[in-house]
Each structure stands twice: as C-alpha cells, then as structure tokens.
Structure 1
C-alpha cells in the first residue's frame, strides 16, 4: 500500500513517519519549492510528545525544545494571579515542549528522509485535484471488490506541468487553505475571524522566572503570551481585539510581515519585571501578523480513500496551544487504523470516527477559552482544568491510555 500525503507540515510529516512505522509506504508532496525553518514558537503538549517519543524522536525533541515547567498568569504590572505546573511537573509521563516551529518541521523532515528515503518528500508539487473510482480491483487487503485507487493531479510549480499519480489513499494535510478539503467540501464555509489580530516574533533576551516559564497577561482587549524556545530566544505573541467576530474578508497567510509600529502602542507601558515587553517587541528581527481564525467543524472529513488531517480538517484558535499537537495525534491514529483495518476505506472511516468529534470539541473549547473573561485565580483554575478534560489532555487519561502503536500480528 502506498499513501499520498499532501503537505509536508508537522501533521503530514508525522503521518509519513507513523505510516512507515506500521509498514505502510508513504509519499509526501509539498507545494513549497524549499522547506525552510519558517515561523515562530509553538507548543507540543504531552499527548503529542508521547506520540513523537513512541516514534523514536524523544531525544531529538529534548535537544531542540524547552521543557515548559509552568504557566504563570499575571497582570500588566507583573503581579501574579495564578500559576499551574506543566508537563512532567503536572504529573504527566511526558514533557510539554516549547519549540521553534520551523526547527521541529526540519527535524521531522530529516527523520522522514532518513527512514523512508531521500525521495519520500517531493517539493514544488501541489495537489490540484483528484478522483477515485467507485469500484475497482485493487483492494488494500484481502480479496473482493472495493473502491479503486485514488488518482491525484499534481502541478509541478517549477515546470508548470501537470501529472497524474495513483495511490491507495490520499491524505489532505495541506493546511488552512487545503486544496483537498476544497475538493471534498466546496461549500465548507468561510474562515471565521475572532475579531483578534495577532503579532508574533522571537527575540534574544534574558531568561525570566524559572527560565522554563510561560507567562500569560491580559489587560482589556490586549493579551501577551511569552515563553522560551531555546538558544536564548523568547517567543512572544500579542493579541488585540479590534473587531467583532465575523467571517474573514481577506487573507489569512501565516507568514505575512508585521510592523512593530502597529503593535507596540498597545503594550508600550506594560511592565513585567525582568521581562521587558517593549524590548521584546522592538528586539525581534521579524514580526508576523495575521488574524486569529478557525472554521466550523465539518460533519464529515472525507470519503472512500480520501480524508483530511491537521489544519486542513480542523483549524482552531491557537489559544489552547493545541493545533500542532492535535495534528500529531491525528497522524498516529490514522496510521493505527490503516494498519489494523481490513481495507483502506474502512481504516479511514475508523480514523475519522475516532478523531472528528474529538477535534471538534477542541475547536469549541478553544473558542470558549478565548471568550472567557474571568481572571480570578478560581476562574483560571476552572478554565484550564475544563480545557484539559475537554481536549483529551487529562493527566490520568493520557498516562493510562494504551499505545497507538499496533501490536504486530
């Protein structure tokens, strides 16, 4: 069996590694002509770290990430309101890591090329369209008729040519503006803007608090999140509500350049002690700006031999630091069900049944967390505890859940 994966982001690359681990061939096609370490910091929560550790990447993660020790909520003057331990300190068997998104992507890319071969990831190629036969004579396992292979049309961006490739399954892991999703769900609804604009950057700065702390500060319509991501860098996120929620009119590109002059006025007089907020913003070599968006959860993801994964399936607000983590879990669940089902469509249907409602709950939980204005210690304890349980990240649940690595038959 060969699976074609559209998109070499965190979800798509983890899917390739997960499929390879269960004996299924995978090829990844990526629209970008070169995969470079773009972006800023992200968090990998313990449920994602567990899956990457079981794929044999625990040591590499520890080398590039910072094991987050605590989340600290405070006001704009640095006065502590509430704090909670994170990762191993919270009782999980696996850490929570803060990492640079691009460095994590390159780590996964190197692992894919090492394990699956140098040609397992093809860059500069975009899935434009696909078709699958209703019935065919190439079942994934065992005898009998079933849906035929998927045939995907790939655009070579350098040559401008189009070719057709066949695979036993197509996984759309091609992000927020997924071509696979658009083909499956042409009336899938618009991007929904929260009314919040986000500015993100990384700045070389002195450590603060434990050196492994994440700080969250909200004052009116403005919020700051900051945490270390290694090599002396502090990742920062500034969020400002500038409008009422509405369907997005315009672009939601993740790598659009922002200007410090646009964001600094909201935070110029914030004083957090050792964490110099104006200095963080002015000291960043690059600032990214984009709207905080998600989509309404879909009633179904795919059909037959085609499905979705990660942001293509369930884009969500970043307030729960869960987008990349959910994509990693998607990838592992996908591989588990393809490896244990009797046929590809059955495996993909089981995958969707396991993940669609679970991720829809996370989308809704992220919205609720974003809208919750409570900032007393009791409010924050309630919100964070509710979120963990809703998003499948409760300590005991994760620590005792069976592995997603199938038992060899």
Structure 2
C-alpha cells in the first residue's frame, strides 16, 4: 500500500486527497504550512467541469449551502455599455451549476471532508516542505520543517509518492526546477476583497467591466442573510503599475486602504451596481501583482509530480485557477488507480493534463474570454450604443467557444460526464 504525501492543504491538495481516497488509496498525508486552516481570502468562481468532479466526490450539496449559483455573466465597457450577457451553469445547458463561493469556505469544506474520511491525522498543519531529493529507486526524500509546538525542527521522510500542491511559490517545483526564480510579473496590480452589501444594491449576476487598461470584477458569494438582507460580494480591480518588489510577488496578504486605489474607478456603475460603493463597504483590501508561471516542459520526475498552481499558475482570467486545480486532483487519482507503477501513473497524468494547461496559461496571458472588453475599447473608446456595430455576435460567440474548448468546460464535453470515474476499488 503506497504512502502518498501531498505538499499543500489548499484547493488542489485537499481535492487530490479526497479523490485518491475515493479511488481506494488509504495512506495519504497532507502537510500544510499553516497550523490551522482559516476561512481567509476572497471569492472563487467554480466552473461546471470542476463542480462535476466535486459532485462525484459527494461534496456538491454541502458546497451549495455555502455558495450561490452563478446564473449569468455580463461584460461591460467602462462607459457602461453592455458588451454581452451569457447564461451560466444550468441555464446554459450544463448538467451541473457554476458556483460562486468564498475561497475559505471551499477550503474548509474540503478540509472537513478529508478529516472525516481519511482521519484527523491525514491533514497535518504547521509543516512545510522545504526540499526534495530524488532517490535511486525514484522515490523522493522530502525535507520538512515543523513550525510549531514540541515538534519544532527539521526532519525528512521518504514517501512512495510526492504530490506538489504547494502553490505558485512551490518548494517542490523549486526542487525539481532549480534556478527558475520569481514568478514573472505582467505589469498589472490587483486589488481584491469582499464586502457586505444590501441585496437590493447588488445584482444577482457576475460582471466584468473595463477598458484596455483597467478592469473590475464583481459577483455575489451568498444568498441574502435572513436577519440583515445583506449578501457577501467578491470584487477585484486591476490596472497597470510601474514596478513592484520581487519579494512581494505571490504574496496575497498585503493589506492596503481602499482610498489608495479607488479613485481610479470613480463613476463606474453597471446596471445599478456601483463599483465604488461595493469596494468602500469592504473591511479589508489586499493588493498584489498579477503573476503566473512559465509553462513547464515537465511536471513529473520519478514518483514526484505537481498539481494546481504549483504546476500551472495562471492569470486570474476565465475562472480557471481553482477550477483546474480541482480537475487536477481527480485526474491524478484516476491515473494512480489505473497504473500499478506510481511513476507510470504520474507520467500518464501529466500526458493528459500538461498540454491543455500550458495552452490555457498562454490563453490567459492573451486575456482569454475577457479580451472582448479590450476589443470593445479599441474599436469604440468613447463607448457605443449598439455592440453589434463594434463586435458582431458571431465574433463574441467564437471567442467564448474557443476558450471553453481550451479549458474543456464547453457544455458538450462537460455533459458527457466525468472521465475520471472509477468502479469501486479495494483499499490500497
């Protein structure tokens, strides 16, 4: 029975642990740097292809209690003109919904499921992977740092398989790719946060608005609270900056006052939703540079591989960061279940996932489906009265369809069902 170690207790790592357990594996350990997982962060939009995989893991009902279904996505020009409005989830013909959820709520739900199904000892907090050394038989020797309590100090373990799910600054990736350096910055800053807003002042839809330099993303994360009538709203603003410190790249916890950036978005209002009003209601705003990682020529080395942001960190475009991390977890477990040799399993997983994810990383660098906002501004910088005169509907549809096909979340592909379902297997 192989011992599988997963570095990182985020969305990718926890999903992989649950998927591996569902596939029959029992000796699974997830090590996470923070001692206790807390509901921090901002919102996520989970596409139907990932919701399908969460449903297969028996988590959909629990998640829907903590999320809202995303039923419509709208794109606007900064002048207020509507570029497009598209149905999402079930309304777009999918067999599964699209979900908007707070990242912390999703992570907590996954962590709870891991502890319930695999045992509380399967998720170990306060432990960081600091290095990986390949052994002659292909197994990894993993260097660990215990960061709290009586176990504070360093140690090493030799699991049968190591899964690097430790994010954009992955220690596992760094060990496999020495000298790669800092995540590359594209010159854009992101400000993110969540706000509580009376339901009548926020739409039930998700929208992305802007021009060829600035962008605003706003969508609700909860249904109206019964006592206050308020909803939790996710927001993100993007615009260029001159420079950032290298040490700041990949740091999602830098707090800044909203007054430091909100003046760039004064007057932005879209079908009754005021971006400044939403942002001013936030308790905290976070600022960080938009970074990703270069696509790798190889994820797997012997019995070690990468998933999620450690493998394919991409710009936050098209709701594909967490979405593809979830799919990674299921794909990995499927490959592990079908191959007796772990190295063969990891190679098969990579052969399926890496080419598509590399293409998606490059597509996001070209703005993915959000390119319609830049096109509208380039062709009609002062605004428009009829979007058909600026971007024909056929062109809008083609852009959306091409991106959906790249990420394998077009309705036809998703509705065929999960390619990662397995017959009941005996424990391994």
Measured after TM superposition, the shift of residue 301 of structure 1 is 0.8
Matched, 1:407 2:406: no
CA–CA distance in structure 1, aligned partners of residues 317 and 418 of structure 2: 28
Deviates more, 1:202-211 or 1:312-321: 202-211
Instruction: Determine whether 1:180 maps to 2:203.
Output: no
Query: Conserved in 2, the CA contact under 8 Å of 1:42 and 1:100?
Result: yes
**Alpha-carbon offset, residue 377 of structure 1:** 4.4
Structure-2 separation of matches of 1:278 and 1:161: 47
Deviation at 1:401?
A: 4.6
- Partner Cα separation in structure 2 for residue 307 and residue 192 of structure 1: 22
Q: Which residue of 1 aligns with 2:21?
A: 20
- Secondary structure of the corresponding residue to residue 302 of structure 2: coil
Shift of 1:72: 0.9
Question: Given the superposition, is the C-alpha separation of residues 247 and 320 from structure 1 closer, same or farther in structure 2, using an over 3 Å criterion?
Answer: farther
Residue 3 of structure 1 is matched in structure 2 by 4
Mapping of residues 347-362 of structure 1, within 5 Å? 347-362=345-360
Structure 2 vs 1, CA of residues 395 and 26 (structure 1 numbering), >3 Å: closer, same or farther? same
Distance 1:180 1:125, change over 3 A: same
- Counterpart Cα distance in 1 of 2:283 and 2:272: 21
Equivalent in the alignment of 2:234? 235
Where has structure 1 moved over 6 Å in runs of 4 or more?
Answer: none
What corresponds to 2:401 in structure 1?
Answer: 385
Aligned to 2:153: 161
| Distance change (3 Å), C-alpha of 1:382 and 1:218 | farther
Unaligned stretches of 5+ in structure 1? 136-146
Pair 1:276–1:396, CA change in 2 (3 A): same
Contact (CA 8 Å) 1:212, 1:227: kept in 2 or not?
yes
What CA deviation, in whole Å up to 9, does each residue of 1:14-40 have, x standing for no partner? 000000001112110001122101100
Moved more, 377-386 or 161-170: 377-386
Show CA shifts across 1:172-222 (max 9, x none).
100011000000001335412121101011111133699531111113421
2-structure distance, mates of 1:391, 1:40: 23
Structure 2 residue aligned with 1:139: none
Q: Which of 183, 208, 212 pairs up with 1:216?
A: 208
Q: 1:105-125 CA distances to partner (integer Å, 9 max, x unpaired)?
A: 000000000000011100000
Q: Does 1:274 align with 2:272?
A: yes
1:397 aligns with 2:413: yes
Map residues 210-359 of structure 1 onto 2, 5 A cutoff.
Answer: 211-231=203-223, 232-243=231-242, 250-359=248-357
Shift of 1:250: 4.2
- From 193, 198, 206, the equivalent of 2:198 is 206
Q: CA deviation at 1:380?
A: 3.7
Listed one character per residue, the Cα deviations across residues 76-121 of structure 1 (whole Å, up to 9, x for unaligned) are 3543221111111111111110100001000000000000001110
- Conserved 8 A contact 2:202-2:273: no
Residue 79 (str. 1) matches residue 81 (str. 2) = yes
Normalising by structure 2, report the TM-score.
0.88
* Corresponding residue for residue 67 of structure 1: 69
Of stretches 215-224 and 44-53 in structure 1, the one that deviates more from structure 2 is 215-224
**Structure 1 residue 336 displacement after superposition:** 0.4
Q: Is the 8 A contact 2:195 2:232 kept in 1?
A: yes
1:343 & 1:302 partners in 2: Cα distance?
A: 14
Shift of 1:258: 2.2
Q: How do residues 101-112 of structure 1 correspond to structure 2 at under 5 angstroms?
A: 101-112=103-114
| 8 Å contact kept, 1:314–1:360 | yes
Indicate if the aligned counterparts of 2:183 and 2:249 stay in contact, CA closer than 8 A.
Answer: no
The Cα RMSD (Å) is: 2.0
| Of 322-331 and 207-216, the range deviating more from structure 2 | 207-216
